[in-house]
Structure 1
Amino acid sequence: MYRLYHRRDFTYILWTFILGSICHFLYEFSDYNPFLALIVPVNESVWEHLKLVFFPVLFLTIAEYSLRRPNPSMLFASRFVGVIFAMAAITVLFYLYTFIAGRSILLLDILIYFTGICLCYIASSNLFPRFRRADPMKIFFCWFLSALLFFFFSCCPPEIGLFLPPQ
């Protein structure tokens, strides 16, 4: 029988939502700690809010691997594809509805964030078996490069829409 997601993914969905929600306010609560600025949003730009998916999923994937010990290549590869899918969906849905509505609506922002998290774990669960022969070094490189891009563009954001806070 086909399942959309695994039962244990519901726990990870909730934990990702909780951790991301905490991270949303952590920079300000930490008195603007520069180390935390690398992994939590420092402004209201879409790019910075994608950290609310990327880093909680990464940390929870590390925790899941530590607890369950599944095949690491399959787990980290499927989660990486899932998190990229989620970030793309969040970006597209946010810009689509703000284009239509003409403004940002907090409730819709939260629903899009939660939808992105769900899509991450649904995609990851369904792609997990396809990564049996995934190269661990390539997977590590993808996660590492993505984290570096978050670090770099948080410190030096370009002057384009995705990286700018809404007006």
Structure 2
Amino acid sequence: MENIDFINWIIIGIPFIFLLGCLFHFIYTLSGNITLIGIISPVNESVWEHLKLAFYPILIWGIIQCCILNKFNKFNLETYVISLAISILLAIFFILSFYYISTGAFNIHSVIWDIFSFFLSITFSQLISIYVYENIIPSNRMFSISLFILLSLAFIFTVFTFIPPKYPIFKDSTTNKYGT
């Protein structure tokens, strides 16, 4: 019964994460460039900033899911945090892979493809998180590393929003500038 509830929440989360990620694409501009909003949403059109579209919606959905399922004792927190961290890392990996393979190898520059590959990345990463949750044997060390990864990613996304390194992944493709 525990896994059925978890699986249902993951499946329900896919469209939620996708739609929230799509909304996050626009909220910085719509907010009038509020700094706090820029921490969780892209401040420019760089590849790096667009990774926030997966990171924060997956994290937000994960916190929502965690609060609800924990209230009913329907899951194992340690295992969940490990699967959440893996899901986020995989979403980032899939987004980067789809983007660089399509643009670099096939010279595809399409908003439709970008949106579709974002949806695929979210879907693949969430489905793999189900497998991880059902099959991993958690340890305190894995749990600690997973928490460290989640906190580090939030910190890095925040710092690189305002002080981005001068590498192509951080360059705004429309203005050729870095950061806000």
Instruction: For 1:59-138, list aligned pairs within 5 A.
Output: 59-69=60-70, 70-128=75-133, 129-135=135-141, 136-138=143-145
Q: Does 1:159 align with 2:158?
A: no
Deviation at 1:68, TM superposition (A): 0.7
Distance 1:105 1:132 in 2: 40
Match of 2:146? 139
**Cα separation, 1, equivalents of 2:100 and 2:144:** 34
Contact persistence 1:77–1:131 (CA under 8 A): no
CA distance in 2, matches of 1:127, 1:104: 33
Q: How many Å separate the matches in 1 of 2:104 and 2:93?
A: 16
**What letter corresponds to residue 157 of structure 1 in structure 2?**
P
Report how far residue 102 of structure 1 moved: 2.9
Give the Å deviation of 1:95: 1.0
Gapped regions of structure 2 (runs ≥ 5) = 1-5, 175-180
Q: TM-score, normalised by structure 1?
A: 0.91
Computed over aligned residues only, the root mean square deviation of the Cα atoms, in angstroms, reads 1.6
Q: Percent of aligned pairs with the same residue?
A: 26
Q: Which ranges of structure 1 fall in alignment gaps of 5 or more residues?
A: none
Matched AA of 1:38: I
Any conservation in 2 of the 1:79–1:120 contact (CA below 8 Å)?
no
Structure 1 residues 131 and 34: CA distance shift in structure 2, 3 A: farther
Summarize the Cα distance change of 1:100–1:141 in structure 2 as closer, same or farther, 3 Å threshold.
Answer: closer
Offset of 1:115 from its aligned partner? 0.6
Within 1, Cα distance between the matches of 2:60 and 2:152?
16
Rounded Cα–Cα distance in structure 2 between residues aligned with 1:45 and 1:131 = 37
Q: Deviations over 1:109-152 (max 9, x none)?
A: 00110011001101111111304224443332221111001011
Once the 2 structures are TM-superposed, how far is the Cα of residue 59 of structure 1 from its aligned partner?
0.9
Partner of 2:157: 150
| Structure 2 counterpart of 1:48 | 49
Deviations 1:33-70 (A, max 9, x none): 00111111001111101000001111111110100112
